[in-house]
Structure 1
Amino acid sequence: MTNIQLIATDLDGTFLSSDKSFDKALFRTVLKTLARNKIQLVIATGVHQERINRLLSDFLDVGLSYVTNNGARVTTSEGKIIFEKTLPLDTLKAVQKLLATFPVKPSRGLVYSTDDTAYVPREYVDVMTAARRQYFKKVILFDDVSEINAPIFKVTMNWHNFDETKFYDAARQQLGQHVHVTETGTGAVDIVPAGINKAVGLKILADDMGISMANIAAFGDGANDLEMLLAVGHPFLMPTAHITGPFESVMADNDHAGVLKTILKMIDN
């Protein structure tokens, strides 16, 4: 596939194994191969930058690009932010109202996220465990969204043993065209600004680099990857994915470095 100029990969369920690790030695080999072929790697994920920084702490100086927060923020390999779209206060108020009236509370937590800070409604402080706090620099409690004085890229909520499609339906009915509701890739639900998804963010990055979407390969496994996979010329779907489509197969699952192995084979061919 000699026409590939850019490769994008999701993290959770795709690049990362089930325990959130990855084969660092193989990753270094892949990065050297990509550099030799002048192909850049993009991390395209639903999570925020601080979480990525902690997961990929040994690789922050290798020139990766980032499409984060399900497309709401785009950063070039030089560290330049070329796109950001946040949720305005009136939309945050509408989200807060929806969550206050929705009959089933997010039992696993609720977070209004910047790229490094978790704003958490005070009533959810008990479910903001150490495991959840570790991926943020700061956790700030609030009683009303009007107290938040920072750009919010997404609102993330998580239930235990609940059919989240019921919330999707309620959110789309009450919030209309003001937001995009999608999965996070980590088993939760994200509310992001309207018109935002990974494909949008990746297209902004590709345009900035002068690369056609037809010359991009992308790896994903979930519904929040679907727009991106449909938009690129070489879409790869993980074998454990819960979506379907006209996508190419990855050599192995995320617990066996499937993305890295497939990239090496793709470049060699």
Structure 2
Amino acid sequence: MRTPRLVATDLDGTFLSPDGTVSAENARAVADAAAAGLPVVFVTGRPPRWLGVIADLPLAHPTVIASNGALVWDLAERQPLWAETIDAQTARDVIALVREELPGASFGVEQGLRFGFDDTYRLGLDRGEALRRPEFFTGRAEDMVGDPFVKLLIQHEDIEADELSRRVSRAIGSALTVTHSSWGSMGLLELSASGVTKAETLERYAAELGVAREDVAAFGDMPNDRTMLAWAGQPFVMAEAHPSLLDLPGVVRIGSNTESAVGRAIQEWL
């Protein structure tokens, strides 16, 4: 493990503890890395409204690659630096194809600071409570894509994510980029504009810092991390990583997020 010049890490299942918080060990590692001049960038599927958990970390560069690469977010100024939105007509075409292939599918529309969902989409909170909050709205999926948005979410209660990903990808081809970061019997997919991935945006970010891919270490655990791990010169996957990541060339399997394995790796470099 040679010392990298840039550390890129996923959040959920990777840098964050299982309860969704930042461990003291990981927080200390980020602070020590900043003091040593080793930048750490978070590369996550989370939208900006879910980044409060890392808002107080002393990052050398307060930039987050969010929404699976579709947004580059200034954490300090709380504003986008760059966004790759999905074309409304493309989204409507994809929705029609998915409805034909999977009649039981539900849809969500991620704008970054607001989230829309259709009548059958299952939220992690009470629908009535959600609609009393300004960041949520509801409607027909075909209508909600009229405003700029960065991710189309597809949910199906009876098909797990890997199978759902295969069927949706077969139905829509390359119209949008399909990935996911979910376990369990209910599948949830995250679709970005064609060609938009964590790797694509991380490559652009590293180039701005003058860092070659060979000097980038990346940590992840789920299929939406695959492109980033394949691109980075030093890829690391967590102990409970999705099996689809284990065939990547040069990948190193480390400990779990329960053990603050990302922070420990950073401290070893320092």
Q: Name the TM-score, length of structure 2 as normaliser.
A: 0.84
Paired AA for residue 248 in structure 1: V
Q: d(CA) in 2 for partners of 1:131 and 1:18?
A: 23
Look up the match of 2:100.
101
Residues 1:37 and 2:41 are matched in the alignment: no
Question: Contact conserved, 2:161 with 2:180, CA < 8 A, in 1?
Answer: no
SS of the residue corresponding to residue 7 of structure 1 reads strand
Paired AA for residue 72 in structure 1: A
SS of the residue corresponding to residue 262 of structure 1 reads helix
RMSD (Å), alpha carbons: 2.7
Equivalent residue in structure 2 for 1:113, among 107, 110, 114: 110
Paired AA for residue 118 in structure 1: F
Q: d(CA) in 2 for partners of 1:166 and 1:31?
A: 37
Structure 2 alignment gaps of length 5 or more = none
Deviation at 1:233, TM superposition (A): 1.5
Q: Name the TM-score, length of structure 1 as normaliser.
A: 0.84
Q: Do the aligned partners of residues 159 and 256 (structure 1) sit closer, same or farther apart at CA in structure 2, a change above 3 Å counting?
A: farther
Deviation at 1:213, TM superposition (A): 1.4
Q: d(CA) in 1 for partners of 2:80 and 2:211?
A: 18
Q: d(CA) in 2 for partners of 1:182 and 1:207?
A: 24
Paired AA for residue 100 in structure 2: T
Q: d(CA) in 1 for partners of 2:59 and 2:261?
A: 24
Deviations 1:124-143, CA, capped at 9 Å, x for gaps: 26x33427959x85111122
Question: Contact conserved, 1:49 with 1:68, CA < 8 A, in 2?
Answer: yes
Q: d(CA) in 2 for partners of 1:118 and 1:225?
A: 22
Look up the match of 2:51.
52
SS of the residue corresponding to residue 32 of structure 1 reads helix
Question: Contact conserved, 1:76 with 1:205, CA < 8 A, in 2?
Answer: no
Look up the match of 2:262.
259
Which segment drifts farther, 211-220 or 61-70? 61-70
Look up the match of 1:227.
227
Deviation at 1:176, TM superposition (A): 2.0
The size of the alignment, in residue pairs, is 259
SS of the residue corresponding to residue 51 of structure 2 reads helix
Deviations 1:169-222, CA, capped at 9 Å, x for gaps: 342233222211111357731111111111101011111122111111110111
Q: d(CA) in 2 for partners of 1:143 and 1:230?
A: 37
Deviation at 1:61, TM superposition (A): 7.3
Q: d(CA) in 2 for partners of 1:40 and 1:186?
A: 31
Q: d(CA) in 2 for partners of 1:77 and 1:119?
A: 23
Q: d(CA) in 1 for partners of 2:126 and 2:232?
A: 34
SS of the residue corresponding to residue 153 of structure 2 reads strand
Look up the match of 1:179.
176
Within 5 Å, give how 1:152-191 maps onto structure 2: 152-184=149-181, 188-191=188-191
Question: Contact conserved, 2:199 with 2:227, CA < 8 A, in 1?
Answer: yes
Deviation at 1:17, TM superposition (A): 2.2
Look up the match of 1:12.
12
SS of the residue corresponding to residue 56 of structure 2 reads helix
Look up the match of 1:124.
120
Paired AA for residue 257 in structure 1: S
Q: Do the aligned partners of residues 161 and 142 (structure 1) sit closer, same or farther apart at CA in structure 2, a change above 3 Å counting?
A: closer
Structure 1 alignment gaps of length 5 or more = none
Question: Contact conserved, 1:15 with 1:254, CA < 8 A, in 2?
Answer: yes
Identity of aligned residues (%): 22
Question: Contact conserved, 1:219 with 1:229, CA < 8 A, in 2?
Answer: yes
Deviations 1:118-163, CA, capped at 9 Å, x for gaps: 1112x226x33427959x8511112253454432111123334524
Q: d(CA) in 2 for partners of 1:262 and 1:144?
A: 43
Q: d(CA) in 1 for partners of 2:183 and 2:107?
A: 14
Question: Contact conserved, 1:157 with 1:189, CA < 8 A, in 2?
Answer: yes
